[in-house]
Amino acid sequence: MHDNLEDWFKNDYWSHEEAACLMYAIIPITHQGLSSTTYNVHKVGNIEVFVHNKNTDKVNEILKLFSIFESANWERNDKDGKRTWGEYFKMAEHKGIRIDFALKCSKNSFERQSKNKNKPMEQEKTGDKNDSTVTFSKEMAEVLEPIAKLIISFKGNDKYKEYGNKIQQGLIDDWLKNKTNTEHEKRFLKELITKYYGITSART
């Protein structure tokens, strides 16, 4: 089993249960030894996953997505009940399903390591009427990747783990204090973090 999102792309095939969890950036494995006061176990199809208390609201969405994947009309026969991760991304796009930003970043990082570095980085198709693929140049990808990684790393902040999306804006400022060079950068990153994590405390 893999303990981080990017490693899951090393598996050519995912089950419906695994894909449903991963689309919400939940690692689809049962973790042993985790505190029962911090994590709850949930049954998703044929697997059990431990979900952090602050992510409990995602469980119903994961179960709905699992049901969608099970009942979907796929283009070809499956392989032992599993499909390629690329097929799940296509199905999510077709159904208008939101893919967690962290999983998208992990996919892009995995693909960059697997492809020629001189090729442009591919990003998921947008939901507009234009069906063409949006691409970033190598230079643009290098600019955006550190920002995405910083935003994702915020979930490891002890204060965020304690307060979830009720965290006070001042605590976000404290976390960013040594991670930015200017007040403008800090305001910009705080706005992105607030929006990405759905933080509901008043902006300052």
Give the burial class of 132: count Cβ atoms within 10 A of its Cβ; 0-12 exposed, 13-18 middle, 19 or more buried.
Answer: exposed
Closest CA to 69 of 22, 116, 139, 119: 22
Distance separating alpha carbons of residues 202 and 204, to the nearest angstrom? 6
**Backbone φ and ψ of 75, nearest 5°:** -75, -25
Q: Are 159 and 167 in contact (CB under 8 A)?
A: yes
Query: By mean pLDDT, which of 7-11, 91-95, 127-131 is the weakest?
Result: 127-131
Distance separating alpha carbons of residues 68 and 70, to the nearest angstrom? 5
Q: What per-residue confidence (pLDDT) applies to 123? A: 46
Distance separating alpha carbons of residues 24 and 40, to the nearest angstrom? 16
Residue 176 has pLDDT above 60, yes or no: yes
Burial annotation 156-175 (CB, 10 A radius, 16+ → b, else e): ebeebeeebeebeeebbeeb
What residue spans define the domains of the chain? 1-104, 136-204
Closest CA to 158 of 36, 14, 38: 38
pLDDT mean across residues, the chain: 78
Closest CA to 42 of 27, 85, 33: 27
Predicted structure pTM score: 0.53
Residue 168 has pLDDT above 50, yes or no: yes
Q: What per-residue confidence (pLDDT) applies to 86? A: 92
Assigned token pair, 63 = 């179960």
Q: Per-residue pLDDT tens for 43-78?
A: 676 666 656 656 667 778 888 888 899 888 888 877
Q: Which residue has the tokens 């999102």?
A: 5
Q: Over pLDDT 90: what percentage of the chain?
A: 9
Q: Per-residue pLDDT tens for 77-87?
A: 778 888 999 99
Query: By mean pLDDT, which of 6-15, 25-34, 170-179 is the weakest?
Result: 25-34
